[in-house]
Amino acid sequence: MCAKDSCCSAGPTLIFACSGAADVGEIADRAARKLTKEGVGKMFCLAGIGGRVSGIMKTTEAASKILAIDGCTLNCVKNCLQQAGFHKFTHLQIADLGFEKGKSPASEENITKAVAKCRELLS
């Protein structure tokens, strides 16, 4: 991966996350924000994909890696990306980490567990 401020030909690593109303959606969202803060990738706008915003679509097309983080089994992030024509991405469903919708608070421990899995998937 390129240094944060360096100029290189590789596209960015983009992170799209569920930000749904459920606790698992909050875990996905906060994990994406933490990964962004740590420089692992850049959280990007899923609503822009759904709305087919040209600049967001172009940036996503140029991404070197895409990580989709879904909170629950509805897979809204995965489905949104696929319906917009994106098929080469890594997908994590927070529920696969043993978190149950409605029973998994967005604690630091749970967010850290999600971040660790995301890092593993992107390496």
In DSSP notation, 56-119 reads HHHHHHT-SEEEEEESSTT-HHHHHHHHTT----EEEEGGGGT--TTS----HHHHHHHHHHHH
Residue 101 sits at φ, ψ, to 5 deg, of -55, 130
pTM, 2 dp:
0.90
Residue 3's pLDDT band (cuts 50, 70, 90): very low
Cβ distance 122 to 114 under 8 Å? no
pLDDT in tens, 78-101: 999 999 999 999 999 999 999 999
Residue 10's pLDDT band (cuts 50, 70, 90): confident
pLDDT in tens, 38-70: 999 999 999 999 999 999 999 999 999 999 999
pLDDT for position 2: 38
pLDDT for position 4: 38
